[in-house]
Amino acid sequence: MIKRSSGDALTASGDGAARPAEPSRPPIAPGAQGQGAASPALREQELNTLANDLRRACQHVARRVRFESTSELPPHQMSVLMWLNHAGPQTPTQIAERERVSTPSVTRTLNCLVEEGCVLRSPHPDDRRQILVSVTPRGAELVERTIAERDTWMLRRLSELGSEDLALARAAADLLSQLADGTVGR
């Protein structure tokens, strides 16, 4: 940890740049976990803090994983390519809905992916007004290589953890997946 003259703590990031240290957050009080009688206002404040901290941590990890790979494509293009590789041929409208962007935005992304030789457009077999977009062998190879690089980055970080932290990471991954899928408590 690096100290500024003003007394604010800084931490060194992986790229060597100093960044403001994250404020330490108190753990959720026992009452917030259903073990005592914390006030509703205190519980709401603690949950708001936890929600913010989890969102920021997930975004930070996702950003690091995306940018640590040596992908030849920008993240938004790689996101579309990975989805197509997973889901199979899709229409531009389906891709736009999945990516939560406009169809014209997806069209620009697809134009770039076609130029790179990562996807192909073909007529829709059931509706001649539409096209289907599918991944080429080059696109599939790029997805596999990028996933391997991202997994390697994460594996290096996980290998630094002890068995208790690894178990906690496993439980956190499962819980975060449930939160994202809306299946917590089901």
DSSP characters over the chain:
-EE-TTS-EEEE-TTS-EEEPPPP-PPPPGGGGTSS---HHHHHHHHHHHHHHHHHHHHHHHHHHHHHS--SS-HHHHHHHHHHHHH-SB-HHHHHHHHTS-HHHHHHHHHHHHHTTSEEEEE-SS-TT-EEEEE-HHHHHHHHHHHHHHHHHHHHHHTTS-HHHHHHHHHHHHHHHHHHHT-TT-
Q: For all residues of the chain together, what is the average pLDDT? A: 82
52: its two tokens: 């913010």
Q: Which of 34-48, 106-120, 142-156, 157-171 has the lowest mean pLDDT?
A: 34-48
Whole-prediction pTM: 0.65
Q: How confident is the model at residue 16 (pLDDT cuts 50, 70, 90)?
A: very low
2-3/18-20 β-pairing: unpaired
pLDDT-derived band at 3, boundaries 50, 70, 90? very low
pLDDT in tens, 140-169: 999 999 999 989 999 999 999 999 999 999
pLDDT for 75 equals: 85
Question: What is the pLDDT confidence band of residue 96, given thresholds at 50, 70 and 90?
Answer: very high
Break the chain into its structural domains and give their ranges.
Answer: 41-159
For residue 68, what pLDDT band results from cuts at 50, 70 and 90? confident
- The domain made up of 41-159 has a fold known as Arc Repressor Mutant, subunit A (1.10.10)
pLDDT at 6 over 50: no
Q: Does the pLDDT at position 105 exceed 50? A: yes
pLDDT, residue 35, reads 52
For the cut 80, the answer to whether the pLDDT of residue 183 exceeds it is: yes
Given a cut of 50, is residue 95 above it in pLDDT? yes
